[in-house]
Amino acid sequence: MAKLVDIVQRESCFQPGSALCPGCMEGMAFQNIGKLTDNGRKTIFTLGTFCGEVSTLQYPTPVAWGRGERTPDDWTKSFGVIHHVFESAPTVAEGIRDMADLLATTGALPGPVQVCALSGDGGALAIGLRPLLHTIARRTRIVIFVMVNEIYANTGFQYSPTTSIGAETSTTPATETVPGNFMPPIDYIGLAVTAGAGLVAQVSPAFPKYFCRVVEAALACSTTAVLFIPSPCITGWKYEDGTTITLARLGCETGFFPCFLKEEGRPGQLKFVELDPGKRPAIEEFMGPQRRFHHLVRKSPETGSFEARPGREQIFSQIRASIQQRLESLTRLTV
């Protein structure tokens, strides 16, 4: 692995000027991915429709992707980005991979190409689940990044298949009798492993060294690598400015978004989270600062810490059980 100190000095292909909300985790992830892909290969990204696309490529907003207005003389610094229909990032990336491999056999390319697909969790796991699974099943040599913010953010914060139990979204409103979303999130990591991906991980820039190590491994993978990046959404989750990284860390440590890595043929790992619930921070610490959970959590008038609102104990048991079940099933996948 390249040294962290060298990686941070590389030039990112994601530049300032996007219209992502200040504090959006997607911007932080793209900055880092942009540096990690500056690795001696030409990079081509395919972007489905999601915040990471509409807020970075839409005219007249400055285009945030690339390294200047003209193609750099150095092939390895050159960069391509393609926006296509919502659900097709893996499929379009697969077509580019095939074409690049074909051109390489004719000697038409001056150097190696790496292809990455980027989309939101709605794009990848709802409407785009079929393209995702079939691209994985074909063992296509691409890296698929999925930004998991648990909602369809850019179209109005609707529920997505990854939404946590109890979260309020614009299509799962919280009322006296309905506690927001009541469906457990889809097992997206299990699906990607089962479909046959060469590498599956859930990683966050909140754990920078681990993030860099795993993205580098994904870029070196000889088949499909799928990286899920939990993406706290300041506008949709409704939390205070300046707390994105804290929430991302807590999201992992409380078990909502455990860091995970499984490479084909090797034992996997569950990172930065304890399997024993007694050793994890309370889930209220993660939920409390987010207004999407305010119908469930409040600040205790006595202690000032976050606690379950009276009468909401049943939904808390469901959330805890769902987290424990997820961690145990991920642990089984590490074998």
Ligand X SMILES: Cc1ncc(C[n+]2csc(CCOP(=O)(O)OP(=O)(O)O)c2C)c(N)n1
Q: Which is nearer to ligand X, 17 or 156 (CB)?
A: 156
Q: Measured from the CB of residue 322, what is the shortest distance to ligand SF4 in angstroms?
A: 23
- Per-residue binding string, ligand X, 129-168, x by CB under 6 A, is --------------------x-xxxxx----x--------
Say which entry of ligand SF4, ligand X, none residue 181 contacts (CB below 5 to 8 A, set by partner kind).
none
Sign of CA dihedral 282, 286, 287, 289: positive
Q: Is 55 in the site for ligand SF4 (CB under 6 A)?
A: yes
Say which entry of ligand X, ligand SF4, none residue 194 contacts (CB below 5 to 8 A, set by partner kind).
none
Q: Which is nearer to ligand X, 86 or 145 (CB)?
A: 86
Could you say which of 37, 49, 181, 204 contacts ligand X (CB under 6 A)? 49
Q: Which is nearer to ligand SF4, 152 or 316 (CB)?
A: 152
Q: Measured from the CB of residue 9, what is the shortest distance to ligand X in angstroms?
A: 29
Could you say which of 234, 296, 319, 323 contacts ligand SF4 (CB under 6 A)? 234
DSSP states of 90-103: HHHHHHHHHHHHHH
The piece of 33-41, 109-117, 120-128, 297-305 that touches ligand X (CB under 6 A) is: 120-128
Q: Measured from the CB of residue 275, what is the shortest distance to ligand X in angstroms?
A: 29
The piece of 50-58, 197-205, 259-267, 315-323 that touches ligand X (CB under 6 A) is: 50-58
- The span from the CA of 187 to the CA of 227, in Å, is 14
For residue 268, the Cα-to-chain-centroid distance in whole angstroms is 19
Q: Is 118 in the site for ligand SF4 (CB under 6 A)?
A: no
Q: Is 167 in the site for ligand SF4 (CB under 6 A)?
A: no
Q: Is 51 in the site for ligand X (CB under 6 A)?
A: yes
Q: Give me the count of residues in the chain.
A: 335
DSSP states of 135-198: HHHTT-S-EEEEEE-SEETTTT-EE-TTPPTT--BTTB-B-SS-BS--SPPP-HHHHHHHHT-S
Q: Is 86 in the site for ligand X (CB under 6 A)?
A: yes
The piece of 17-25, 133-141, 160-168, 246-254 that touches ligand SF4 (CB under 6 A) is: 17-25
Could you say which of 34, 198, 236, 268 contacts ligand SF4 (CB under 6 A)? 236
Are the C-beta atoms of 198 and 264 separated by less than 8 Å? yes
Q: Is 246 in the site for ligand X (CB under 6 A)?
A: no
- β-strand 151-152 against 158-159: which pairing, if any? antiparallel
- The span from the CA of 229 to the CA of 260, in Å, is 11
Q: Which of 190, 188, 65 minimizes the C-alpha distance to 120?
A: 188
Residue 270 half-sphere exposure, CB side, CA atoms within 13 Å? 23
Sign of CA dihedral 27, 31, 37, 42: positive
Kindly state the helix (H) or strand (E) to which residue 118 belongs, with its residue range.
strand 113-120
CB atoms within 10 A of CB 60: 5
Q: Is 24 in the site for ligand SF4 (CB under 6 A)?
A: yes
Q: Which residues bind ligand X (CB under 6 A)?
A: 49-52, 86, 119-123, 127, 149, 151-155, 160
- Footprint of ligand SF4 on this chain (CB under 6 A)? 20-21, 24, 26, 51, 55, 149, 153-154, 233-236
